[in-house]
Amino acid sequence: MKVAITGHSSGIGSSLDTILSLTTDYEIRGYSKSNGWNIAEDNGDKIINELLDYDPDVLFNNAYYPQIQNKICETLYTKWSEQDKIIINTGSISGYLSEMLGDSESDYINDKKRMSEFCIKSSFNYPWNNRTRLYNISFGFVDTPLVTKTTKEVNKENMINTEDACWMLIDLMKDKPYHIVEQVINCNFSDVNEMQNHFQVATRNVLKHIVRSNKAKSS
Convert the pLDDT of each residue in 186-217 to its tens digit. Answer: 888 777 777 777 777 777 777 666 666 666 66
Tell me which residue of 59, 78, 63, 66 sits closest to 146, measured CA to CA: 63
What pLDDT is stored for residue 21 in this prediction?
Answer: 96
The residue that leads in pLDDT, 83 or 158, is 83
- Per-residue pLDDT tens for 161-187? 999 999 999 999 999 888 899 999 988
pLDDT for the residue numbered 102: 64
Give percent above pLDDT 90 in the chain. Answer: 65
Res. 151 pLDDT band, cuts 50 70 90: very low
Average pLDDT, integer, range 45-74: 97
Look at residue 89 in the predicted model and tell me its pLDDT: 98
Residue 145 confidence (pLDDT) = 73
Task: Please state the rounded mean pLDDT for residues 153-163.
Answer: 79
pLDDT of the residue at 154: 62
Note the pLDDT of residue 31: 98
Q: What CA–CA distance (Å, rounded) separates 69 from 211?
A: 16
From the list 192, 168, 172, the residue with the least C-alpha distance to 181 is: 172
CB of 43 closer than 8 Å to CB of 66:
no
- Distance from C-alpha of 73 to C-alpha of 76, rounded to nearest angstrom: 6
pLDDT value at position 127? Answer: 95
pLDDT at residue 144, rounded to an integer: 81
**Domain annotation for the chain: domains and CATH numbers:** 2-218 (3.40.50.720)
pLDDT for the residue numbered 172: 96
The CA distance from 157 to 179, in Å, is 31
Closest CA to 184 of 203, 209, 207, 160: 160
CA distance 93 to 187: 10
Q: What is the pLDDT of residue 141?
A: 85
Using the CB atoms, write b or e for 154-169: b if 16+ within 10 Å: beeeebbebeebbebb
Q: Give the confidence band of 152 by pLDDT, cuts at 50, 70, 90.
A: low
Instruction: Give the per-residue pLDDT at 155.
Output: 67
Which string of DSSP letters, residue by residue, matches 188-219?
Answer: --SSHHHHHHHHHHHHHHHHHHHHHHHHHHH-
Query: What pLDDT score was predicted for residue 153?
Result: 60
Mean pLDDT of the chain: 88
Q: How many other CB atoms sit within 10 Å of the CB of residue 38?
A: 22
Cα(98)–Cα(124) distance, rounded to whole angstroms? 26
C-alpha neighbours within 13 Å on the C-beta side of residue 189: 12
Q: What is the pLDDT of residues 70-88, one digit of tens each?
A: 999 999 999 999 999 999 9
Q: Is the pLDDT of residue 8 over 80?
A: yes
